[in-house]
């Protein structure tokens, strides 16, 4: 567990939530005249499932992109595992142990499920092609390790029967599961999920919810997800940040957020679609 903060606690369902692993401090992000994020602060604790919700255009994707290093905010600081993060490229952020999925599935359609998941190991591969040619033994050992880890994830997410299938042939819900598998292959400390249930039918949503909970429980992975559908995340999350028009209007447990009048007015009470 994290040694930065002693204030860990055990959830009613028996999971241990540790200290703060990521802290967003006074983040402001502008696109020209549009202020997508206005002075928002919140934290993510080790082992928790943290949701960021809000209606269309609230700034959720922008926030996820700040966390994953795709966007650099004009103001504010990002702290990860006790250090202030300097300006970093997304692959450097990934190298710190932050993996993500995308709202619009970003897989290689022509490649098999197995090979797609293997691409998730890239940040962990020490030997490149040249050294594989020169130093076969070590490269082979590494390859075996990567395969073992990938097979473990394939079993865990119950996708053994499609491991050789080209991703392009899979139904939507399974593609999303493969994307989750690829992100897990990086053995992330923090897993970011970009609208993991978007476009799914009820059964696919239930499956995805179960897998998110299982990943968190089995691997202890800290998870931050953004989601438009409030109902879905309320059952999943330990704590929820609510955004509206770039501002944070609520932050707390699902029950606290549900009872927050600003959230009811802005998110539940007023349709923005
Ligand atoms: N690359 C960009 N260039 C210009 N404006 C942008 C860009 N990305 C987001 N915005 C604007 O920033 C605001 C927040 O958008 P963002 O996509 O973060 O919201 P969101 O809550 O994720 O919305 P949705 O639920 O519709 O995906 C919107 O006004 C949007 O038009």
> What is the three-state SS of the chain?
CCCCCCCCEECCCCCEECCEEEEEEEEEEEECCEEEEEEEEEEEECCCEEEEECCCCCCHHHHHHHHCCCCCCCEEEEEECCEECCCCCHHHHHHCCEEECCCCCCCCCCCEHHHHHHHCCHHHCCCCHHHHHHCHHHHHHHHHHHHHHHHHHHHHCCCHHHCCCEHHHCCHHHHHHHHHHHHHHCCCCEEEEECCCCCCCHHHHHHHHHHHHHHHHHHCCEEEEEECCHHHHHHHCCEEEEEECCEEEEEECHHHHHCCHHHHHHHHCCCCC
Average pLDDT, integer, range 58-72? 95
Least confident of 34-48, 111-125, 181-195: 111-125
Does 36 sit in the ligand 1 pocket, CB within 6 Å?
yes
ipTM of the predicted assembly exceeds 0.90: yes
The protein residue whose alpha carbon is closest to atom 26 in ligand 1 is 56
What would the pLDDT profile of 215-247 be if each residue is shown by its tens digit? 999 999 999 999 887 788 888 999 999 999 999
Q: What is the pLDDT of residue 40?
A: 98
Residue nearest to atom 3 of ligand 1 (CA): 31
Q: Is the CB of 31 under 6 A from ligand 1?
A: yes
Q: Where are the domains of the chain?
A: 1-97+188-273, 111-185
User: How far does residue 182's CA lie from ligand 1's centre (Å)?
Assistant: 26
Give me the mean pLDDT over the 79-85 stretch. Answer: 93
Residue 67 CA, ligand 1 centroid: distance in Å? 15
pTM value is 0.88
Residue 1 — very low, low, confident or very high, per pLDDT cuts 50/70/90?
very low
Q: Model confidence over 83-108: pLDDT tens digits? A: 999 888 888 888 889 999 887 778 89
pLDDT in the model for residue 129: 53
Burial class (CB in 10 A: 0-12, 13-18, 19+), 46: buried
**65 ligand 1 Cβ < 6 A:** no
Tell me the per-residue pLDDT of 102-160, one tens digit each, with 9 for 90 and over: 877 788 999 999 999 999 887 766 555 555 555 556 666 777 888 888 999 999 999 99
Please identify which residue in the block is written with the tokens 């978007």.
Answer: 198
Q: Mean pLDDT over residues 20-26, rounded?
A: 97
C-alpha–C-alpha distance, residues 63 and 184, integer Å: 21
Query: Does the beta carbon of 228 sit less than 6 angstroms from any atom of ligand 1?
Result: yes
Residue 2: pLDDT band (50, 70, 90) is very low
Q: What is the mean pLDDT of the chain?
A: 88
**Share above pLDDT 70 across residues of the chain, in percent, rounded to a whole number:** 89
Structure tokens at 221: 């992975």
Q: Is 34 in the pocket of ligand 1 (CB under 6 A)?
A: yes
CA-CA-CA-CA torsion sign (65, 71, 75, 77): positive
Q: CATH says 1-97+188-273 is which class?
A: alpha beta
């Amino acid at each position: 567990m994290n040694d930065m903060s002693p204030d860990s606690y055990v959830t009613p369902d028996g999971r241990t939530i540790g200290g703060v692993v990521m802290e967003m401090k006074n983040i402001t992000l502008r696109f020209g005249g549009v202020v997508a994020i206005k002075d928002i602060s919140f934290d993510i604790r080790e082992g928790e499932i943290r949701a960021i919700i809000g209606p269309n255009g609230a700034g959720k994707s922008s926030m996820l992109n700040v966390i994953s290093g795709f966007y650099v905010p004009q103001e504010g600081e990002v702290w990860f595992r006790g250090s202030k993060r300097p300006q970093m490229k997304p692959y450097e952020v990934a190298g710190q142990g932050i993996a993500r999925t995308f709202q619009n599935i970003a897989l290689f359609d022509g490649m098999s499920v197995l090979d797609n998941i293997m691409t998730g190991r890239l940040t962990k591969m020490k030997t490149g092609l040249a050294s594989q040619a020169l130093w076969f033994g070590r490269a082979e050992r590494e390859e075996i390790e990567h395969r073992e880890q990938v097979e473990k994830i394939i079993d865990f997410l119950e996708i053994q029967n499609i491991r050789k299938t080209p991703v392009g042939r899979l139904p939507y819900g399974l593609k999303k599961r493969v994307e989750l598998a690829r992100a897990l292959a990086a053995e992330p400390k923090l897993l970011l999920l970009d609208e993991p249930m978007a476009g799914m039918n009820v059964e696919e949503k239930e499956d995805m919810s179960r897998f998110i909970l299982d990943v968190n429980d089995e691997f202890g992975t800290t998870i931050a997800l953004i989601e438009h559908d409030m109902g879905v995340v309320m059952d999943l999350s330990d704590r929820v940040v609510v955004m509206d028009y770039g501002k944070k209007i609520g932050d707390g447990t699902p029950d606290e957020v549900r009872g927050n009048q600003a959230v009811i007015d802005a998110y539940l009470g007023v349709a923005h679609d």
